[in-house]
Amino acid sequence: MKDSSKKEIDNKAFSDECNTVLMAVSDALYAIGGKWKLMIIISMARGNKRFTEIQRQVTGISARVLSSELKELEINGFIVKKVAVGYPVSIEYELLPYSQTLQEVVEAMTKWGMQHREKIKTERSLVNLKKQ
């Protein structure tokens, strides 16, 4: 009886820990998930502040999607939209200090992405060699 009770407690602790991890990852994906958000932040960190500069740098993103993603990044506290009144009206986006908390994530994803690309290239080369 003690063993099954201990297993239930261990399973509950494991389940609670799993739920905590899943919830944290879910929150992170909500804030920065998708195809574009991190790419927009990276582009902005490299000096692109205007809508057209960001769109030009982030290849393949439509104006509608960029506008939506910028709004979501602003809501989540990563960027701020600055409107300079005058003629013509000038709009720039600026990274907030909170965006720096993503630096380790970007570095880890960059490292993994390069590793993954190399793995795929190597595997394709091997497959092509076997076909010959």
DSSP string, the chain: -HHHHHHHHHHHHHHHHHHHHHHHHHHHHHHH-SSSHHHHHHHHHTT--SHHHHHHHSTT--HHHHHHHHHHHHHTTSEEEEEE-SSS-EEEEEE-GGGGGGHHHHHHHHHHHHHHHHHHHHHHHHHHHHH-
Q: Is the per-residue pLDDT at 46 higher than 80?
A: yes
As a whole number, the mean pLDDT across the chain is 90
Can you tell me the mean pLDDT for 63-79? Answer: 97
Q: How confident is the model at residue 129 (pLDDT cuts 50, 70, 90)?
A: confident
Q: Please tell me the pTM assigned to this model.
A: 0.79
The pLDDT score that the predictor gives to residue 9 is 60
Q: How confident is the model at residue 21 (pLDDT cuts 50, 70, 90)?
A: very high
